[in-house]
């Protein structure tokens, strides 16, 4: 094994629903994603991923529905475009009970979650998983979610990040500052479980939040869960530099991905942190088989079940633009909105058409797809890491669980043989495994300032 070679980090990218990224594949006869509402679907997936030594299961989520395309929810319902969608956090206890090392990256929208109760839920999961949870911080982008939660419209993009900054302050005060180290003594003889002088009331009076109270949980293994984030706008990068430990990007080619990775690392430096304090992951599809020919045959098979229209309907919600209003070859006009800014960026040149979008979404989604034999896939993954500075990938599911089984059985051994992937888990919490450091936030992280 090559000494010192960078090890690729891997999350399985999933969602507590039927159609996640590659739309239409739920109709494939070998796909079992309609079983998402059973415990066994998730416990078996967790055990499979742990067999493959995956670092984590990254679970996306939305609050709201995709109703921009055709000004309707019809396509979303017919093709199950992230609808129905169940709560991701409730899956963790069952999966943690059947695994020992797999991490769980959980998406929760802070706009609609009171920080005091959310702090308790995450601390509870960190306890039950023995320190294996992370939080994917999102502020939301769907008007349908805002209306469902009682708002007239979505809060303006940069304003949502202002609120998120304060939300994190409240959480740091609860997770890091309310209970001191050593507060819990668990001494039955003296009848003292926790020492009152080491447990402190949090008092926060801000623009968005007013909180006065004690954190309801004793310190969990990580205190603050590993912090994930996916914003790539200027304001999102500023937020990532301050708070994120893992950043998820969507790359389309290696040069632009390299530029994105460099921006993320620069944002950490600007916040007084080290560039390597943030791990950067990219979303990726992989279709692999024993030979290149078999892999491309599988690719063709998958294409026959995919729904490009469903993929474009999903993208409509991401951009806030109803692509159904356009003829196949009519240039799509860029419109600034409160939707995902990285999604609309590619439309700013006004050189996209609905036909071009349908071609891009041929597999039901727009992530880069790597197709080939185990050696060819490993070559490409190593190339992305070397040429872009990425730390790893969020591996999508195309056919469930086949996509993960194929990768684990065929690609993982090849990467291990090359020294590009671990052969065993490290000990410790999710943060310790990812960063080979302590379980708690490092001293240079803004959250550490709230410790007593």
**pLDDT tens across 233-262, in order?**
899 999 999 999 999 999 989 999 999 999
Question: Which pLDDT tens digit goes with each residue over 373-400?
Answer: 999 999 999 999 999 999 999 999 999 9
User: What average pLDDT does this structure show over 278-297?
Assistant: 98
The DSSP symbol for 193 reads: E
Quick: pLDDT tens for 126-139. 999 999 999 999 99
Given a cut of 80, whether residue 4 has pLDDT beyond it is no
* Confidence at residue 23, expressed as pLDDT on a 0 to 100 scale: 98
pLDDT in tens, 288-323: 999 999 999 999 999 999 999 999 999 999 888 999
Class level of CATH domain 9-302+371-450: alpha beta
Q: Above 70 in pLDDT, residue 98?
A: yes
Q: Determine the pLDDT at residue 1.
A: 40
Q: Tell me what the mean pLDDT of segment 328-356 comes to.
A: 73
User: Is the peptide bond prior to 401 cis by the omega test (within 30 degrees of 0)?
Assistant: yes
Q: Please give the pLDDT value at position 393.
A: 98
What single string gives the DSSP state of each residue in 344-358?
HHTTTTS---HHHHH
Closest CA to 25 of 79, 89, 71, 101: 79
* 99 within 8 A of 46, measured Cβ to Cβ: yes
pLDDT at 45: 98
Identify the three-state secondary structure at position 371.
strand
The beta strands (E) that lie in 36-195 are given as 56-60, 103-109, 133-138, 184-187, 192-194
Query: How far apart are the C-alpha atoms of 46 and 98, rounded to whole Å?
Result: 8
Give residue-wise pLDDT tens across range 264-276: 999 999 999 999 9
Instruction: Quote the CA–CA distance of 419 and 170 in Å, as a whole number.
Output: 42
Q: What is the pLDDT, as a whole number, of residue 2?
A: 42
What does the alpha-carbon distance between residue 34 and residue 365 come to, in Å, rounded to a whole number?
A: 18
Q: What's the confidence (pLDDT) of residue 231?
A: 79
Q: How far apart are CA 450 and CA 178, in angstroms?
A: 9
* Statement: residue 123 has pLDDT above 60: yes
* Helix segments in 323-373, DSSP class H: 341-345, 354-360
Task: Specify the DSSP class assigned to residue 228.
Answer: E
The rounded mean pLDDT for the chain is: 95
Q: Whole-structure pTM over 0.75, yes or no?
A: yes
pLDDT tier, 338 (very low <50, low <70, confident <90, very high otherwise): low
Q: Strands 226-229, 246-249: parallel, antiparallel or unpaired by DSSP?
A: parallel
Closest CA to 400 of 9, 27, 1: 27
Q: What is the pLDDT of residues 190-239, one digit of tens each?
A: 999 999 999 999 999 999 999 999 999 999 999 999 999 997 889 999 99
User: Is residue 419 classed as helix, strand or coil in its secondary structure?
Assistant: coil
Q: Residue 92: pLDDT above 80?
A: yes
Poorest-pLDDT segment among 31-40, 320-329, 425-434:
320-329
């Amino acid at each position: 094994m090559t000494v010192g070679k960078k090890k690729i980090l891997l999350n399985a990218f999933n969602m507590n629903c039927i159609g996640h990224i590659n739309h239409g594949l739920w109709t494939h006869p070998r796909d079992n994603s309609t079983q998402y509402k059973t415990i066994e679907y998730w416990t078996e997936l967790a055990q499979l991923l742990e067999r493959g030594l995956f670092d984590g299961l990254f679970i996306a989520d939305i609050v709201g529905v995709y109703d921009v395309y055709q000004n309707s929810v019809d396509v979303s319902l017919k093709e199950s475009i992230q609808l129905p969608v169940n709560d991701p956090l409730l899956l963790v206890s069952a999966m943690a009970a059947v695994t020992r090392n797999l991490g769980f990256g959980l998406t929760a929208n802070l706009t609609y979650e009171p920080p005091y109760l959310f702090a308790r839920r995450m601390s509870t999961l960190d306890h039950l998983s023995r320190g294996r949870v992370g939080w994917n911080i999102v502020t939301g982008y769907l008007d349908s979610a805002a209306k469902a939660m009682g708002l007239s419209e979505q809060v303006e993009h940069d304003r949502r990040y202002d609120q998120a900054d304060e939300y994190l302050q409240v959480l740091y005060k609860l997770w890091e500052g309310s209970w001191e180290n050593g507060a819990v003594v668990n001494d039955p003889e003296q009848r003292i479980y926790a020492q009152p002088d080491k447990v402190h009331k949090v008092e926060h009076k801000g623009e968005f939040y007013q909180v006065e109270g004690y954190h309801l949980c004793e310190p969990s293994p990580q205190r603050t869960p590993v912090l994930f984030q996916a914003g790539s706008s200027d304001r999102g990068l500023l937020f990532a530099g301050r708070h994120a430990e893992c950043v998820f990007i969507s790359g389309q080619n290696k040069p632009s991905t390299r530029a994105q990775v460099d921006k993320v690392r620069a944002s950490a430096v600007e916040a007084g942190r080290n560039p390597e304090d943030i791990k950067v992951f990219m979303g990726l599809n992989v279709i692999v088989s024993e030979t290149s020919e078999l892999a491309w045959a599988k690719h063709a098979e998958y294409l026959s079940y995919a729904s490009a229209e469903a993929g474009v309907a999903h993208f409509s919600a991401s951009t806030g633009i109803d692509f159904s209003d356009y003829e196949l070859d009519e240039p799509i006009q860029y419109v600034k909105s409160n939707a995902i800014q990285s999604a609309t960026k590619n439309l700013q040149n006004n050189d996209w058409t609905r036909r071009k979008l349908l071609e891009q979404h041929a597999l039901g989604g727009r992530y880069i797809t790597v197709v080939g034999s185990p050696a060819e896939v490993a070559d490409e993954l190593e190339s992305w890491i070397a040429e872009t500075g990425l730390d790893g990938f969020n591996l999508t599911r195309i056919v469930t669980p086949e996509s993960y089984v194929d990768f684990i059985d065929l690609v993982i051994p090849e990467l291990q043989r090359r020294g590009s992937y671990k052969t065993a888990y490290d000990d410790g919490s999710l943060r310790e495994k990812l960063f080979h450091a302590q379980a708690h936030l490092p001293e240079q992280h803004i959250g550490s300032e709230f410790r007593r």
